[in-house]
Structure 1
Amino acid sequence: MDVVASRLNSLPPPAWVVFDDLADPLQHNGRPWLMLLDGETIPTTLVAERPTLVVWSSLWASRPDARIRFDLEGPMDASVRWTLMVDPPIPGDEEMRRMGTRIGDLVFANLRYTYGQ
């Protein structure tokens, strides 16, 4: 698998709270955040090593090979790095930008808003 995009940002709760939300995105405890668009599928959690690592299967039906890795750290605000990996052929720049923007929107917008920010 090739790494095609990666971003680092922070979220307000500790890493273990973010881990729980990413490891089971449908268990939202009254805070739904994984709102899928047309052509997207519910990701399966492939790896979950509490509280530092979560790996999802693809969000996109058109790219079932894609994997999204979340590396987490921080006892207070969580430092969250997502990394998008795909098998060749590598998507074009526009598709990579769209995929990366979508991951960012889900995690650093939708999920962030559920924490009151």
Structure 2
Amino acid sequence: MHPIGSRKRNQPAPPHAVYAALTNPDRDPTRPWLILLSDEQRPTILEHNDPDLVIWSSLWPKHTTARVRFDLPTDGRGGTDLRWTLYIDTPNLDDSAIGHLRYRLNT
């Protein structure tokens, strides 16, 4: 698996709350946040370590080897410095496809 993108963003919620949201995206039906696009599928949890790590399977049926790793360290102020890293093992993935996958994870 090769990393093809990574980004860190601060979230005001503590790591245990971000972990809960990533491991159960439908837990609060009044605040949906994982809105899948037409070319996406619901990921499964491949690995997790409460409250600092979640690894999802691919969101994209066209890219079944993709994995999304979420690292959830505390920011020292009660929030989370969420970092996602996208891994893929698809040979010859063009720049446009990589850009699409990265963009999607940024939103």
| TM-score over 0.5 for the pair | yes
The runs of at least 4 aligned residues of structure 1 exceeding 6 Å deviation read none
Q: Could you report, residue by residue, the CA deviation over 1:40-62 in whole angstroms, capped at 9, with x for unpaired residues?
A: 00000111100100000000010
- Percent identity, aligned pairs only? 38
Contact 1:24/1:45 (CA < 8 Å) preserved in 2? no
Calculate the aligned-residue CA RMSD, in Å. Answer: 1.3
- Normalized per residue, the structure richer in helix is 1
Aligned length: 105
Distance apart, 1:77 and its partner CA: 1.4
Distance apart, 1:16 and its partner CA: 0.8
Residue 104 (structure 2) aligns with: 102
**Distance in 2 separating the partners of 1:28 and 1:100:** 26
Distance apart, 1:88 and its partner CA: 3.0
Distance apart, 1:66 and its partner CA: 0.4
**Distance in 2 separating the partners of 1:91 and 1:33:** 28
Which runs of no fewer than 5 residues in structure 2 stay unpaired?
Answer: none
Equivalent of residue 89 in structure 1, options 78, 91, 95 = 91
Which runs of no fewer than 5 residues in structure 1 stay unpaired?
Answer: 106-117
Q: Structure 2 counterpart of 1:101, which letter? A: Y
Distance apart, 1:96 and its partner CA: 1.1
